[in-house]
Chains A and B, each alone.
Chain A
Amino acid sequence: MEHIGVLASNLLSPIILLFVLGILASLLKSDLKLPSPLYNGLTIYLLLAIGLKGGVELHKTPVSEFIWPALITLLLGIITPITAYNVLRRLGRFDRINASAIAAHYGSVSAVTFIVAVSFGTMNGLTSEGFMPAMVAILEVPAIVVALMIAFTREKRAGSWQEALHEVLAGRSVMLLLGGLIIGWISGPDGFEPISPFFETGFKGALALFLLEMGVITAKRLEGLKEVGGFLIAFGIIVPILHGILAIWLGNMAGLSVAGSAVLGAMVSSASYIAAPAAVRIALPEANPTLYLTASLGITFPFNITIGIPIYYAFAEWLL
């Protein structure tokens, strides 16, 4: 890939331009906003579509091909909240609660970043392994558990650990993703065929529409930038790059293709904005939501979908 050209093509793709439109509209105080049921519906559609498609691919994949990437992903889900926590504590001098809260987000994964990373690859003729959505499910849960464990093992907390775990496991994002994977896996390509037009054809359009709303949401979080300080802004860009590079390197060793490693890199570098905030709000109510929401949605998410993803693809190509 010609890297500069690829970066430009990403920035000028309709998905990213709609995201920018959402940001601009919000900054200009426009009343542009998706109605909340549509936004919820799109999220359900997107998560279910990636779950189903991943399950169908998993059906066709021999276990031997899948097992190493899965183990690597699980390992990354355990390592990344620990590295994020230590950087925040030692370099950023954050207190334990806020450091664990932010670490839970950076260990976990943003499904939208994952989808944009896959779309970016296909746009440039690089197809990642079809079972990658299974990795999103593997990555989503352990990181939140590890980060909350750090907070809960150190001292008595005000929040409820059990309720938070329930929130993660029974939350809509994990249910749809994991449920979709299992249903796709059980039905296989033949069973999926009758419903595939609905989930395949409309997917990119739905993603584009969703990104418009993500722009509006991101813009709201940009207001928090003044409060979070320079360290967290640097953290929100540098730590994802380091996590991404580690994931690409490990993914490559586990036998993933260039696109597969790059998508894994994008996933690991991303910060959750659905499952983690809900779990953290319940388990660590003392943590400041402005810090973790601004970092994950206001800094890391826009960085990844505009510049981060092309960097991960370039690094994966260079490595292979």
Chain B
Amino acid sequence: MKTTTLKLVTIVTERILEERVLRKITEIGARGYTLTKATGKGSRGVRASEWEGPDTRIETLVSSDVADGIIEYISDNLFEHYAVIVYVQEAHVVRGDKYI
């Protein structure tokens, strides 16, 4: 089957940032995303509130430019004060034109 090579950007962050991150990645050019609840352990242990629930894991399939834009936004705005992980993988996607 024909596949297109895209970038899979994964962001794991505090639940409280979910709405903000989703709004920004959509502005930058992501056409969609997948959300999952996430728990784990890292260098930052403290969250805003138990009420907010577990962390959130956001996955989005995007073009290389959009992936760069998302990483730039997160590095400039969120790394300093919040618990955030972001990484990019290459993905061979079926029906790739849906995502760019």
Cα-based distance from A33 to B16 in the complex (angstroms): 22
**A96 interface residue per 8 A CB criterion:** no
Q: CB within 8 Å of A: which of B28-82?
A: 46-54, 80-82
Specify the main secondary structure of chain A where it touches its partner: helix
**A158 interface residue per 8 A CB criterion:** yes
What are 15 pairs between A and B in contact, CB < 8 Å? A36-B53, A39-B50, A40-B51, A163-B20, A274-B51, A277-B48, A277-B51, A278-B51, A278-B52, A280-B48, A282-B16, A282-B20, A286-B81, A289-B46, A293-B46
Are A158 and B46 closer than 8 Å at their CB atoms? Answer: no
Contact of B49 among A159, A163, A274, A290 (CB under 8 A): A274
Are A285 and B50 closer than 8 Å at their CB atoms? Answer: no
How large, as a class, is the contact surface on chain A?
20 to 34
Are A285 and B81 closer than 8 Å at their CB atoms? Answer: yes
Closest to A273 in B: B49
**Chain B residues engaging chain A, CB cutoff 8 angstroms:** 14, 16, 20, 46-54, 80-82
Cα-based distance from A217 to B46 in the complex (angstroms): 13
**A204 interface residue per 8 A CB criterion:** no
Closest to A288 in B: B46
**A43 interface residue per 8 A CB criterion:** yes
**A89 interface residue per 8 A CB criterion:** no
Cα-based distance from A289 to B80 in the complex (angstroms): 14
Cα-based distance from A278 to B15 in the complex (angstroms): 10
Cα-based distance from A40 to B51 in the complex (angstroms): 7
* Given contact pairs A158-B81, A286-B81, A36 touches B49 in the complex (Cβ within 8 A): no
Are A43 and B51 closer than 8 Å at their CB atoms? Answer: yes
- CB-CB under 8 A from B49, the residues of chain A are 273-274, 277-278, 281, 293
Closest to B54 in A: A36
- CB-CB under 8 A from B20, the residues of chain A are 163, 282
- CB-CB under 8 A from A167, the residues of chain B are 16
- CB-CB under 8 A from B48, the residues of chain A are 277-278, 280-282, 289
* Given contact pairs A282-B16, A289-B46, A158 touches B80 in the complex (Cβ within 8 A): yes
Q: Smallest CB–CB gap between A113 and chain B, Å?
A: 15
Q: CB within 8 Å of B: which of A266-294?
A: 273-274, 277-278, 280-282, 285-286, 289-290, 293
